[in-house]
A and B are shown apart, each in its own frame.
Chain A
Amino acid sequence: MSINLYKMQYTVDERGYYGEFGGAWIPEMMYTNINELKHRYLEIMEEESFRKEFDELMKDYVGRPSPLYYARRLSEKYGSHIYLKREDLNHTGSHKLNNTIGQILLALKLGKTRIIAETGAGQHGLATATVCALKGLKCVVYMGALDVKRQDPNVRKMKMLGAEVIPVHSGNKTLKDATNEAMRDWISHPEDTHYIIGSVVGPHPYPDMVARFQSVISAEMKKQLAEKTGSELPKRVLACVGGGSNAAGAFYHYLDHPEVELIGVEAAGLGVDTKETAATLAVGSPGVLHAARTILMQNHDGQVTEPYSISAGLDYPGIGPLHAHLFKTGRARYLNATDEETLRAVLLLTQLEGIIPALESAHALAALEKISLQPNEISVICLSGRGDKDMQTYLDYFGY
């Protein structure tokens, strides 16, 4: 149940493509590692010993299944039924641990002894540092210098867990730059190192592998919805999208159910009509970023432009190739929410439900204002993370 292995309509082909998006546009220096991963990830994920340990850790360490919570007061406010998939209640406070548990077990099977990761908000870095502590592996986390500043609590947690956090000073000093630097590290350490990419981005097989690890989210949603409502299919599923891993997980088991509306919510920053935005699908065009053909923010000369969002986890100029494909085919719809709309949604959820969400996840909540909700419909929002790491931003903005 926890890892999906069957072929679906929206699965990658053997070259790692979702339609026209994906592939492995890697320099030769990454070939051996990517090739090994490509040929072994499915086989390893199917091994009995892998599945057993993965399932056990998901249950006893991550705390799965995460609750599907009926948000009564939020539902009343919008005059419709709203459920929250509580990924924020996972150990380490977000959905990111689903993927890092999977990848650390995979790395051990591949005989790797050193782990590297990129991080934006620090949630993926934290989840990686956590599994490295759990398994006793060396951990190096690359993080944009700007993000190191704005996500200080996560930086300190990673260090306490024994990880080395390397601030990246190139570019905008955010997630894209951290990813560049992690790729350079992997090029320089091809033998002993596994790169745990935190989202459904990067070269094949990462987008597919990470989506499969995160697919536990929608696998549980189906079961929980069936128990609570009698049907495993909601009217719609909403999730925030940076690279798009929690959305990929929340959409996964609904992709082949066209009657379920899938809505991804990007970070508009100050607005999609300004330069200060991270809403890739709203302003981007096809190209190659971080070794995948996808949609990205770029100028006419093919230089990647710098994104902006208040949320470090969504502050990325690309998007996973699965989402580019869902966007292109119309299978999913992509909205966006500005910094301000998001902060309003943070306060709304906090005061209606007693849940302080992460800035990233609050983008999905903000989209409730932008769609027409009918009284008898059921919407599920993937609440991908909790707001502890964003408290300083919230306190500064709201003035408490």
Chain B
Amino acid sequence: MNMTGKVMSLKPALMENHMQNRIDDLFREKDKNILSVYFTAGYPNLGDTATIIRLLEENGADLIEVGMPFSDPTADGPTIQASSDQALKNGMTLEILFEQLSDIRSHVKIPLVLMGYINPVLQYGVEKFCRQCSRTGIDGIILPDLPPDEFSLNYQEVFKANNLHNIYLITPQTPDSRILEIDRLSTGFIYMVSSSSTTGAGKKVSDFSREYFSRVKNLKLQHPQVIGFGISDRETFENACQYAHGAIIGSAFVKALQQPDPLEVIISRFVAGITGTEDREG
């Protein structure tokens, strides 16, 4: 990086040799109101991972972020911290996660993204991890503590070889010049962190900086943007979707999974609460 903080020396992600990726397909087919849902793998029970993915798709989620639990999730608020702790107590590991997902593409068609922290991926082996993702049918990776310079220097090639999109975050503090640089380095979509917070801070979108959203919109980025952090219900989802191609719900969904009802009931109720038309009509 140079003194202005731009990532100048890094090569842009090559756009040629473009293999098909479900994330690109999704954004080509749908350019607004994309609902992305995050949950922590292995939570509430170790064996729930594939079931939750299947139910989310059935109920209308467009994209799913599967959280890889980590002992020290410094970018996450209390809800996702607690779900990670519980998932680890349940025995979740990357090894087990790939086993649970080994058959997922026989019945799930929407894009799947793995989200977590770099250390477990390093211990698993980055190359082996990418190969496993590709074999499993994972389309993208979000590792907040893998910054653009480290990624470009060491991992860009292996991600590309396995047709995996690396999703970057931008925040209200990210300068325009860096947003443009991140857009250049990105593949898939850009994860727009809504406000200065860890996940699940629960501020309303109406309180968010509209200035930031409009600023990003005016940059006319080449990659679609999805807003995350603090999206918890229909109101915040719809608000966020006015400024971006879609929004990500994480903590609110993880919280919903704590309800005593069967997963079928919880997930159908939750997704309908965000996108369903019946409430509005009724």
Mutual binders A and B: yes
Among B72, B81, B171, B173, chain A packs the most CB atoms within 10 A around the CB of B72
With a cutoff of 8 Å between Cβ atoms, the chain B residues found around residue A33 in the complex are 173
Say yes or no: A287 contacts B169, CB within 8 Å: no
* Complex-state Cα separation, A25 to B74, whole angstroms: 12
- What is the CA–CA distance of A109 and B129 in the complex, to the nearest angstrom? 44
B174 touches A28 (CB 8 A): yes
**Is the CB–CB distance between A35 and B5 below 8 Å?**
yes
Question: Does A26 belong to the interface (CB within 8 Å)?
Answer: yes
9 additional A-B pairs beyond A29-B75, A304-B119, beta carbons within 8 Å, are A28-B170, A170-B81, A170-B85, A188-B196, A190-B171, A286-B122, A289-B72, A298-B123, A303-B71
A7 within 8 A of B: no
In contact, A187 and B72 (Cβ under 8 angstroms): no
Cβ of B150 < 8 Å from any Cβ of A? Answer: yes
Name the residue in B146, B147, B174 with the highest tally of chain A Cβ atoms < 10 Å from its Cβ: B147
Chain A residues with CB under 8 Å of B77's CB are: 184
Measured CB to CB, the nearest residue on chain B to A306 is B71
Q: Which of B74, B117, B124, B173 lies in contact with A183, CB distance below 8 A? A: B74
CA distance A35 to B5 in the complex (A): 7
Residue from A31, A180, A286 within 8 A of B72 (CB atoms): A180
Closest CB in chain B relative to A246 CB, distance in Å? 24
**How far, in whole Å, are A290 and B74 apart by their CA atoms in the complex?**
8
Is B118's CB within 8 Å of the partner chain A? yes
Interface size class, chain A:
35 or more
Which listed residue (A190, A298, A302) contacts B121, Cβ 8 A?
A302
Chain A residues in 8 Å Cβ range of B174: 28, 31-32
B173 near A188 with CB under 8 A, answer no
Please give the distance in Å from A374's CB to the nearest CB on chain B: 43
* Residue on A nearest B149 in the bound complex, by CB: A15
Which residues does A use to contact B, with CB under 8 Å? 15, 23-29, 31-33, 35, 39, 170-171, 176, 180, 183-184, 187-191, 286-291, 298, 300-305
Known contacts A170-B81, A187-B196, A190-B196; is A31 also within 8 Å of B147 by CB?
yes
Q: Contact string, B122-141, partner A, CB cutoff 8 A, digits 1/0?
A: 11100000000000000000
Task: Tell whether B70 is near chain A: CB-to-CB under 8 Å.
Answer: yes
A322 to chain B, nearest CB (A): 19
30 pairs, A vs B, C-beta closer than 8 Å? A25-B118, A27-B144, A27-B145, A28-B144, A29-B144, A29-B169, A31-B173, A31-B178, A35-B1, A35-B5, A170-B85, A180-B72, A183-B74, A184-B77, A187-B198, A188-B196, A189-B196, A288-B119, A288-B122, A289-B119, A290-B72, A298-B123, A301-B124, A302-B94, A302-B120, A302-B123, A302-B124, A303-B70, A303-B88, A305-B71
Q: Shortest 6 CB-CB distances between A and B: which pairs?
A: A302-B123, A302-B120, A27-B144, A28-B169, A32-B173, A301-B93
Closest to B124 in A: A302
Once the chains bind, are B71 and A171 in contact (CB under 8 Å)? yes
Q: How far is the CA of A184 from the CA of B80 in the complex (A)?
A: 13
User: Given the complex, which residues of B lie within 8 Å of A35, measured CB to CB?
Assistant: 1, 5
In chain B, what residue has the closest Cβ to A32?
B173
